[in-house]
Amino acid sequence: MPRTRAIAYCRVSTDKQADKGQSLAVQRARVRAYADLYEIEVVEIIEDAGESAKSLHRPGLQRALMMLANGEADALLVSKLDRLTRSVRDLDDLIRRFFSESSGVALLSVAEMIDTRSASGRLVLNVLASVSQWEREAIGERTAAALAFKKSNGEYTGGRVPFGYRLSDDGVHVVEDTHEQTVIREARLRRLRGWSLRKVGRSLAADGFVSRKGTTLGAKQVARLLEAH
């Protein structure tokens, strides 16, 4: 039976990862040891140094995938799955495009003991992808629930604080800003007199009522201020 030909792929985001057991040298040693153990022929070791896993558009990875597509190897070997990608969506895309059962190309990962040449290996990979997807969605649900609870209690949840309000001294709750509420009240009264938006802004500035940046409120700013209140 012919030996599986594999392209080994290694990646680090920064040089500091050498301190966390993810240096290129460590990854090279791991994939070589794995290849020797399972009698896999390493065609080439391709590396991406200083490349994030947020995208698949990395020079080394794209070259490795091109070699797989051209039939220059039968498998892609990584020391750990997150060296390939941290994105569930990208992993799913790679599986469909390159590592499906019908493609004849395998994905091998040392740390997770993934070998998609077998049915059990494909099952493990799919389970990991599903668990990762569940974890991401669960985190999203918990975050949304926490923000909704904070909002219901009048707590600050991020974003720009509307004109007329400010953060409390503890930086948690949004409370009325007395000065800005006065600006809003004066703007409304002057508008009721039939003044144009521009005239309202100029008259407010003359009385010391200006924007947060210390400038005269323009017509559009006055309009937005009145529409919001």
CATH number of residue 44's parent domain: 3.40.50.1390
Residue 127 has a pLDDT of: 81
Residue 19 has a pLDDT of: 47
103 and 180 together in one domain: no
In whole angstroms, what is the distance from residue 205 CA to residue 158 CA? 29
Q: Residue 153 falls within a domain, yes or no?
A: no
Structure confidence by residue, pLDDT tens digits, 138-151: 777 876 777 677 66
Average pLDDT of 179-200? Answer: 90
Share of the chain above pLDDT 70, in %: 88
Residue 229 has a pLDDT of: 67
Q: Residue 213 falls within a domain, yes or no?
A: yes
Q: Residue 87 falls within a domain, yes or no?
A: yes
Residue 165 has a pLDDT of: 78
Residue 158 has a pLDDT of: 66
Catalytic residue, candidates 13, 23, 103, 203: 13
Q: Residue 149 falls within a domain, yes or no?
A: no
Number of domains present in the structure of the chain: 2
Structure confidence by residue, pLDDT tens digits, 84-134: 988 878 888 888 889 887 888 999 999 988 999 888 888 887 787 777 677
Q: Does residue 47 register a pLDDT over 90?
A: yes
Q: Does residue 179 register a pLDDT over 90?
A: no
Ranking 79-83, 127-131, 161-165 by mean pLDDT, the lowest is 127-131
Instruction: Give yes or no: 13 in active site.
Output: yes
> Which residues constitute the domain of residue 215?
165-228
Q: Residue 154 falls within a domain, yes or no?
A: no
